[in-house]
Amino acid sequence: MAMPVMPVMPVMPDGQEVVCLDDEGSGNISVEEEGVEEEDAFEEEKEEVEKASWGGTWRTCGVDGCLYRTKKKDHLKQHKATIHCIDIVWHDCPELGCEYRAKAKGSLKTHRALVHDIGVTWHHCPKHNCSYKAKREDGIKQHRANALGIGVTWHACTELGCEYKAKQESKIKRHRADMHDIDVLWWFCDNEGCEHRAKKNSHISTHKAHVHNVGIQWKQCPDCDFKAKTNGYINKHIKRMHTSA
């Protein structure tokens, strides 16, 4: 008996469509669609494995396309309140005269410790005879690096020929802006027609006081009626007018 001849399926590049006949005599099979279906099946299987590994289901946010997900219902609730301002439960500071409030109890607890010294867990410098203490453990680490030179991680300026280095990365960023004009956040004077700009907001305030007489805080000489816009001018005045030669 002659063996039936099986049809040979053509091998096509990925993404091209292969057409073959099914038992009914027609039908289309897309290689690309098969790949998508396999990927979806893999993701479903992966999610089932994750679900089985801890015995629960993922809770997704979905607000405005947010991809946040968590395993705990209270975490999702906290996320929506903190990030999307949905169903916020405000926690007010009970200290007299304090108007601080937070969306999370943990933030309120931190506030009361840092601002009101309530419920503080003090961290002490382990160095002998050092009385320094801080409300946060990273404060001790920073103290040991800055004051004692212990556990210092030096951050160096990467500009060619510059030997500046600092113990804090933020100071490198400030140095690069001040000295090399890299990643500068410019502050501009908002007085009409004035094009003055500065690298620090405080410099803009000084400029507006000196040039435009805006927001002046007059400094008074303690010995006479003389006043000036800066303490430097007051000191020069005292030295010149009230100090014996």
**φ, ψ of residue 40 in degrees (nearest 5):** -65, -40
The whole-number average pLDDT for the span 48-56 is 56
Average pLDDT over residues 198-222: 89
CATH number for the region 217-245 comes to: 3.30.160
> What average pLDDT does range 78-85 have in this prediction?
84
Identify the pLDDT of residue 176.
Answer: 93
Residue 19 pLDDT > 60: no
CA atoms within 13 A on the CB side of 215: 11
Segment 7-19 mean pLDDT: 48
The answer as to CATH 3.30.160 being correct for domain 155-212 is yes
pLDDT at 31 (0 to 100): 45
Q: What is the pLDDT of residue 79?
A: 87
Q: In the prediction, which pLDDT does 41 show?
A: 65
Mean per-residue pLDDT, 53-73: 81
Reported confidence tier of residue 22, pLDDT bands at 50, 70, 90: very low
Answering whether pTM is above 0.85, one says no
- Asked if pLDDT for residue 78 goes beyond 60, the answer is yes
Amino acid at 235: N
* 47 has a pLDDT exceeding 50: yes
Q: Residue 203: what residue type?
A: H
| pLDDT at residue 127, rounded to an integer | 87
155-212 and 217-245, same CATH topology: yes
Sequence ranges of the domains in the chain: 121-152, 155-212, 217-245
Per-residue model confidence (pLDDT) at position 20: 45
User: In whole numbers, what is the pLDDT of the chain averaged over residues?
Assistant: 80
Q: In the numeric block, which tokens belong to residue 105?
A: 């109890």
Residue pLDDT, tens place only, 29-38:
444 445 555 6
Say which residue, 54 or 184, is predicted with more confidence. 184
Q: How many CB atoms lie within 10 A of CB 189?
A: 19
Instruction: Please state, for a pLDDT cut of 90, what percent of the chain lies above it.
Output: 27
Give 50's pLDDT tier (boundaries 50, 70, 90).
Answer: low
Phi-psi label, residue 47: left if phi above 0, alpha if psi -120 to 50, beta otherwise: alpha
Higher pLDDT among residues 103 and 156, named by residue? 156
